[in-house]
Amino acid sequence: MTAQTVAEIVRLGPVIPVLAFESVEQGENVSRALHAGGVKVLEITLRTEAGLKAIERASQLAEDIVVGVGTITKPEQCALAKKAGARFGVSPGLTKDMHQAAQDAGLPLLPGVMTPTDIIVALELGYEIVKFFPAQPAGGVPMLQAFHGPFPTLKFCPTGGITAESAPTFLALPNVVCVGGSWLTPKSALAAQNWDEVTRLARAASELAPPAR
């Protein structure tokens, strides 16, 4: 996989699944099922102890898979995730220390923003694409439409509360490059180890119309 920058990675598919695994084995099964459905980019979060090992395992599943690390909340997590095989990082927020740690680790970062002040900080640090989080609670589509006026060049990956039904509305916005979501891995399917259902949902997500930009 040749994608190296966040700008390249977010264009590999309209939906980036946000994943939290109870075990490394579950992570491998789900990652394989998602890839079988055409999803090439995964965000495996550090919300569980299995996170780093799951990133390592998933990154070895296929040549065209791009595994990112999610829920980076501490600067030191950037180097750990990079060592585990993460190709990019996603954070719920942004500080100068986290920005510098990602730079030092060689880990492209998709930082989270929620307010205009957050956005201005991200722009000052040179970011052109950011994560809008938590998207739905923070105002959803109307908020992104409002951001487009004062920040016309900034692109967003909204994440948080987005569903299969609402994703197309977000993807239709001129400042949205992709969406993040957890609906591809429903708890019921994971509990039943129904990997075929995960693949079905992944295929449907992969077939969503990508932003025409």
Query: pLDDT class for 209, splitting at 50, 70, 90?
Result: confident
- Examine residue 213 and state whether it is found in any structural domain, yes or no: no
Over the stretch 76-101, which tens digit does the pLDDT of each residue have?
Answer: 999 999 999 999 999 999 999 999 99
- C-alpha distances in Å from residue 177, one per residue of 18, 27, 98, 200, 204: 16, 26, 23, 23, 18
Nearest to 95 by CA among 112, 108, 71: 112
Selecting among 40, 82, 131, 155, the annotated active-site residue is 131
Average the pLDDT over 58-75 and give the result: 96
Selecting among 43, 56, 82, 155, the annotated active-site residue is 43
Reported pTM: 0.95
- Examine residue 212 and state whether it is found in any structural domain, yes or no: no
- Examine residue 34 and state whether it is found in any structural domain, yes or no: yes
Query: pLDDT class for 1, splitting at 50, 70, 90?
Result: very low
Active site residue 131: yes
- Examine residue 147 and state whether it is found in any structural domain, yes or no: yes
Neighbours of 168 (CB within 10 A): 12
Q: What pLDDT, on the 0 to 100 scale, is given for residue 212?
A: 61
DSSP codes of every residue in 115-171: SHHHHHHHHHTT-SEEEETTTTTTTHHHHHHHHHTT-TT-EEEEBSS--TTTHHHHH
Answer yes or no: is pLDDT of 2 > 60.
no
Spatial distance between the Cα atoms of 108 and 103, rounded to a whole number of angstroms: 7
For residue 56, what is the DSSP state? H
- Examine residue 161 and state whether it is found in any structural domain, yes or no: yes
Average pLDDT, the chain: 96
- Examine residue 110 and state whether it is found in any structural domain, yes or no: yes
Over the stretch 144-169, which tens digit does the pLDDT of each residue have?
Answer: 999 999 999 999 999 999 999 999 99
Average the pLDDT over 67-79 and give the result: 97
Over the stretch 39-51, which tens digit does the pLDDT of each residue have?
Answer: 999 999 999 999 9
Query: pLDDT class for 211, splitting at 50, 70, 90?
Result: confident
Per cent of the chain over pLDDT 70 is 98
Over the stretch 49-61, which tens digit does the pLDDT of each residue have?
Answer: 999 999 999 999 9
Total domains in the fold of the chain: 1
- C-alpha distances in Å from residue 199, one per residue of 43, 61, 63, 182, 196: 16, 15, 18, 13, 5
- Examine residue 104 and state whether it is found in any structural domain, yes or no: yes
Q: What pLDDT, on the 0 to 100 scale, is given for residue 210?
A: 76
Q: What pLDDT, on the 0 to 100 scale, is given for residue 3?
A: 63
Q: Which domain holds residue 17?
A: 6-206
Q: How many CA atoms lie within 13 A of 97 on its CB side?
A: 6
- Examine residue 162 and state whether it is found in any structural domain, yes or no: yes
CATH number of the domain to which 50 belongs:
3.20.20.70
Main-chain dihedrals φ then ψ at residue 192, nearest 5 degrees: -90, 0
Neighbours of 29 (CB within 10 A): 16
Average the pLDDT over 124-148 and give the result: 98
